[in-house]
Amino acid sequence: MEASHCELLLRIERGEKIEPPGPSIRLGWPRSNDTRRSVVGKSPPPFAKAGAKNGSELRFVSVSQRDMEMHYSNTEETLDLPMRWSPAVKNVGEQELLQHFQTSATRALAIMGHTPSKLGDALIRIALASNTASAGALLKSLLAFSSLHRHDVHSQAVELKVDAIKALGVASGSTHIGKREAIQHVATGMLLCSFETHQSTCTSGDWRWYLGSVKQMIEVTGIDKIQNRCDDLAILLDWVYYNDVHDRFAKQYWHRKLSPRNPPTPPASGVRPPAPIITENSSPGMVLTHLLSEVIDAIPAAPPPEAPAGDLQKYNEFIKIIDWRIRSVAITDQDNDGQGCPLILELYRLAVLIYLDRACRTQLHSKAKSQKQVERAFELIPQVKTCDRQFSIFIIGCEARNDEQRALILDLIARTERGGSSRVFNHTPLLMQALWAQEDLAVGEKTDYNERLTSVISVCGIMPTFI
């Protein structure tokens, strides 16, 4: 008869040895030739497919069901980014917003070849040059951008933006728009465009319309043809040009069907702002932007593979000349373009070179030399504190092939977003991660660079910005 729990406890307290009832338990592993005590399953069949990978070559990839569907072109997803709203922010005075714009918000304006602070000073001078309706619209848009930069999206920022649009509508109804008013119109449109691209959410699609209206105003009024233009007008036109070049980059890969959120093409979308006059004294940033514009034009101009050999040779020679011109841009320690250090310009140059090499479907360099460009870019990234050039981060980030390189890119984005000069990195990291998933799924397959960019960028509900 088994002892009760109480008896067992008493015996344990007296220090007696307790033997378990029944036969003792023995543990042991079955012998390889003993089938009585083991579960025997069928051995996996040998790989019948020629060229199949062995276990040491297999690896795990982090992908989702959507990534798989995109890889096999079975879905048409839409990437929508919600708008961040700050309802508890108190309104501040216009003088305080103007001061914040001058000291802080200007750093978030996207321009190349000039410091953002110089652009901000020019915008303030243009806004205070007169008491016209167009000047009032510019001032309201300036305050709206400052409020957005200070507190994110909230009621005061939206109200100031609406006031700027209303004032711009009143100014546009004037029977005569002079050169000064036209310049104020252009500056207002660019600030409204910057208001949208600063957050770049699913409600920010109007930025292309503002940019298109700005280009239309420049073409109609001819302010780009003014002889001996002042410095404020020159920096304003360069601002428009920089944004237009990166708009064209995104537009060639963003293919969405028309919908209520994707209205027809914005006005003057085919019109280009005047290109800067490149001289020996031009800043390297503006020279590189101009060369990126030529690269973007060269991509659709590529002849098909079955084209005559003479056409292919001419195109290849043209691409080699562009490549040489990009490499020949001199960047010194004094060149910082207001972004902190010349390393930012070097990263931008490398991004343009990598994009040219990948997108033009021509064998510019050997694989080893092309890879050396990529490795150089990843060597520079840890040396850069921040980088708000989203084009550079996107193009270089697409080349990340391992977790270490991808972590470097994501860490740079995190460092940049903590700075006051950064526009929100909404689309860029998500698009890179989607491209990384497609790259992992296509290991060993030959894929087209431009088609891969198109398949991922076209997922966005609105056209993303890479300024």
- Cα–Cα dist 338/344, whole Å: 10
**What is the model's pLDDT at position 56?**
47
d(CA 329, CA 338): 18
Three-point CA angle 81, 205, 358, nearest 5°:
80
Regions of the chain short of the pLDDT cut 70: 1-61, 63-91, 175, 201-204, 257-265, 267-269, 335-340, 420-421
pLDDT at residue 275 in the model = 86
Per-residue pLDDT at 338: 53
pTM of the model: 0.80
Residues in Cβ contact with 398 at an 8 Å cutoff, skipping those fewer than 6 apart? 432, 435, 453
Please count the other Cβ atoms lying within 10 Å of the Cβ belonging to residue 34.
9
Give the model's pLDDT for residue 263.
Answer: 54
CA distances from 301 to 38, 351, 358, 360 (A): 68, 21, 15, 9
Return the residue matching tokens 């951008």.
145
- Calpha distance 136→127 (Å, rounded): 7
Return d(Cα 93, Cα 98) in angstroms, integer: 9
| C-alpha 123: how far from chain center | 26
Q: What is d(CA 188, CA 200) in angstroms, rounded to the nearest whole number? A: 18
How far is residue 358 from each of residues 208, 287, 323, 423, 459, measured CA to CA in Å?
27, 21, 12, 27, 21
Helix (H, G, I), strand (E, B) or coil at 42: coil
Q: From residue 11, how far is each of 3, 6, 24, 102, 311 by CA, in Å? A: 10, 9, 20, 86, 100
Closest CA relative to residue 156, chosen from 80, 89, 72, 224: 89
Dist CA 213 CA 265 (whole Å): 12
- pLDDT attached to residue 31: 62
